[in-house]
């Protein structure tokens, strides 16, 4: 029996408001989706990647939380560009897969 995956990237574009969000000591990107079918962080999105530019596979943050229960408004994502986070990623990813990681300055 063969299986076929029909996965597609489900995403919404948000406006980048602040690269050092006021919450969590500046470790977050702050975005605003504003609703209106333009997206925003929703329940279950935490841990998902934030791509920038949005049409690439470049991960700049990991979705953390939103301030609105209706998936609209202000959202925050933990930035991946700090030395501590990069060190953790490289220590956590299996050695055979580290070569697939490209760190962009």
For residue 30, what is the domain's CATH number?
2.40.10.10
pLDDT of residue 1: 64
> What domain count does the chain have?
1
**Per-residue pLDDT averaged across 63-81, rounded?**
85
Give residue-wise pLDDT tens across range 73-92: 788 899 998 888 999 999 99
Answer whether residue 33 shows pLDDT above 80.
Answer: no
- Assigned domain for 83 exists: yes
What is the spatial order of strands in the sheet that 74-79 belongs to?
A: 15-18, 28-32, 74-79, 59-66, 49-51
- Assigned domain for 47 exists: yes
14 vs 17: CA distance, rounded Å: 9
- Assigned domain for 72 exists: yes
Question: In a 3-state reduction of DSSP, which class is residue 47?
Answer: coil
Q: Please provide the average confidence, as pLDDT, over all residues in the chain.
A: 82
Q: Which of 52, 82, 47, 53 is nearest to 65 (CA)?
A: 47
Residue span of the structural domain in which 33 resides? 15-98
**Per-residue pLDDT averaged across 44-51, rounded?**
88
19 vs 28: CA distance, rounded Å: 7
Answer whether residue 39 shows pLDDT above 90.
Answer: no
Question: In a 3-state reduction of DSSP, which class is residue 22?
Answer: coil
pLDDT band at 21 (very low <50, low <70, confident <90, very high): low
């Amino acid at each position: 029996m063969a299986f076929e995956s029909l996965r597609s990237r489900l995403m919404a574009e948000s406006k980048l408001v602040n690269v050092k969000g006021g919450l969590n000591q500046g470790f977050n990107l702050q975005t605003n989706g504003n609703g209106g079918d333009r997206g925003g962080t929703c329940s279950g999105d935490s841990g998902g990647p934030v791509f920038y530019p949005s049409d690439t596979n470049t991960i700049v943050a990991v979705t953390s939380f939103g301030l609105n229960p209706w998936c609209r408004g202000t959202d925050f994502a933990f930035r991946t560009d700090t030395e501590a986070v990069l060190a953790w990623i490289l220590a956590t990813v299996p050695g055979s897969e580290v070569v697939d990681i490209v760190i962009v300055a």
